Structure 1
């Protein structure tokens, strides 16, 4: 789905006045008075109004904004919370995969791997898990400041720290130290988003100054999984390296989640190919990547129908909207990726999940088959 930006000098080209004009001038006159109760029908109308495969006429940001507004309006009209309105299966409060060290495109350091995360899986409630994550995050801040100076605690795009590290295992060692300082060993797992398209180099990879083939990079990930309590690896290879995705899923797929983001781009058609090729066991879902709520739900249905998992995700460029918190609960995926417990556009999601937990008493944790 294509985000419509203004270009030019204003807002460094990132303005959205054209998308807003499309909402006010084209979409609003066409949808005012329509019933929001049937989200799928409403969004089919929106997609038809745009008339392109990638929503480039009106802009995916315009179409999605109206799709989300319709979902909220539908919930309000029924007098129920958004997650109940979006209900797709057994509701569950998700495990937050918190980005605590940033690298790659999200930071100004020498780390090639883009994200290092903690996953508090071994807790009974979302409140306990979030508290543990916050404690480890601030312990990590203390360790980095003591070891590398205060500048090491500057944060990247998603709220994780951006210390002067380069080797792919260094962040895992320091994060594990922070986890063990709070006696959370065995209750908090580690995860990485390699975003390997960012360090792909020709038909191989250039990681920390070393040139690796796809097979050699698989071996590196297996070594890391043996040394550290890894529970997930996202985008371990470039988006077009299907062979390496198949290899790592075959070798590590029973032990941890192999998550496809760039390879799938939340597109149900590409997810179907991934199912056929056994390229991953988890699909990262970004609603604005596919463009409407029903299209995102289709991706969920395709993945769950084939036995794959879903991780609902924020974007590196985020807002304070908390829609994805309700979506994660509604589909019962058991996993959400919303950044560090830092920066208001990240904590908005965690605060919403806390409110849902307080008012519903829903179970917390991974999906039943993985718990």
Structure 2
């Protein structure tokens, strides 16, 4: 059958949610199917992530243009893939990796390669008249992720006095995704009223969470707990808390030494941060902690997981960068019990699927995630259902590029017509 044969691939420079250029790829099949995909971009990025190719021309977008990446799609990748069957995802992704021929996709750019990879998957699904989540995940894909909604920002994602990058509300006690989304959206709006009443800023950070100046990192948790209760929910039962320290952003050049520079808390060692985390987990209904330590602090991560891994989900992001090589090391050393999963950290759909499967096969959880620079592309929502990972973070109850993913999940839940699964663990 020639229906899903690739007829054309082309790339276009567009803008992401921060107003920076990113890559959008269009794929046309011989049967007339047309699909497009837009690539997200991170702010607090791990050192070992696949390379996002930028032009470096200071006269355009401050050097952040992606014309080179688009040209690589149009002039190098497209000629090799036209004529191939779009349903051969693994083969297509492997060909692009071989075309790039670097360990980190620095020649063609992970943004170029991922744009094609995602658009090809979308086109193949559409050609079969199938939803993307069923095409990627199979007929049994029906688990809707618990939304870990970022409602308060700090660190690299905000211009304020908070070190922790993300404070998330997790509706683990809701009976269904739509109800869980309502729980945390209501909490988000209640939090705004609390901030307004106290004369604190209600402007939002890159991912839509509020970004007020606070007296301490702990004050952020206290505010969220107040918002949960005032919304009519019970902390720890209906809604819990998840944190993303993004500790690499306040790590010093000395491994195991940190400078909590935004809050003014000063310098702390890994053991100090672990002791702080133990106090917080005892005091607050925290169920997940992402990147509590820096990407080079493997020894600290092992200690953190030994201390808290039986109580909470310990997630490596910058530590693993969705790369099976680093995830395997984490599994072997006990450095965490979960990995964050970001498509653009590794650069192809196939490699991202491999990372999720490696986690699940070894009893780990896979935490699907957006990036701080996003688009209204909803690929991630379908992908989260396809992988059945159980939880997802894709921003707050504001900013259309975040809400697009939540709304897509509502559509999927509705389409499953009572057959959707929703549970934390």
| TM-score bin (small chain) | over 0.9
TM-score by length of 1: 0.96
Alignment of 1:52-67 (within 5 A): 52-67=102-117
Q: Are 2:237 and 1:184 aligned?
A: no
**3-state SS of 2:242 partner:** strand
Runs of 4+ in 1 over 6 A off after TM superposition: none
Give the structure with the larger helix fraction: 1
Q: Are 2:145 and 1:94 aligned?
A: yes
**1:42, 1:91 → 2: CA distance?**
26
- 1:21 is matched with 71
**3-state SS of 1:121 partner:** coil
- 2:217 is matched with 168
- 1:294-353 residue CA offsets vs partner (Å, 9 max, x unmatched): 000111111111100001100111111111111110010001010101101111110110
Structure 2 counterpart of 1:250, from 280, 285, 306: 306
**2:296, 2:60 → 1: CA distance?**
35
- 1:293 is matched with 349
TM-score by length of 2: 0.84
- 2:397 is matched with 341
**2:280, 2:422 → 1: CA distance?**
24
Shift of the alpha carbon at 1:234? 0.4
Q: Are 2:30 and 1:6 aligned?
A: no
- 2:193 is matched with 142
- 2:154 is matched with 103
Q: Are 2:157 and 1:157 aligned?
A: no
- 1:204 is matched with 257
- 1:40 is matched with 90
Q: Which runs of 5+ in 2 are unaligned?
A: 1-49
**2:286, 2:95 → 1: CA distance?**
43
Shift of the alpha carbon at 1:53? 1.7
Shift of the alpha carbon at 1:97? 0.6
**1:328, 1:341 → 2: CA distance?**
18
The answer as to whether partners of 1:92 and 1:365 remain within 8 angstroms in 2 is yes
**1:158, 1:166 → 2: CA distance?**
22
**3-state SS of 1:86 partner:** helix
Q: Which runs of 5+ in 1 are unaligned?
A: none
Alignment of 1:114-153 (within 5 A): 114-149=165-200, 152-153=201-202
Q: CA RMSD in A?
A: 1.3
Structure 2 counterpart of 1:195, from 246, 251, 257: 246
- 1:17-72 residue CA offsets vs partner (Å, 9 max, x unmatched): 11111111221222112101121111111111222221112111111000001100
**2:84, 2:123 → 1: CA distance?**
11
- 2:420 is matched with 363
**1:147, 1:227 → 2: CA distance?**
24
**3-state SS of 1:232 partner:** strand
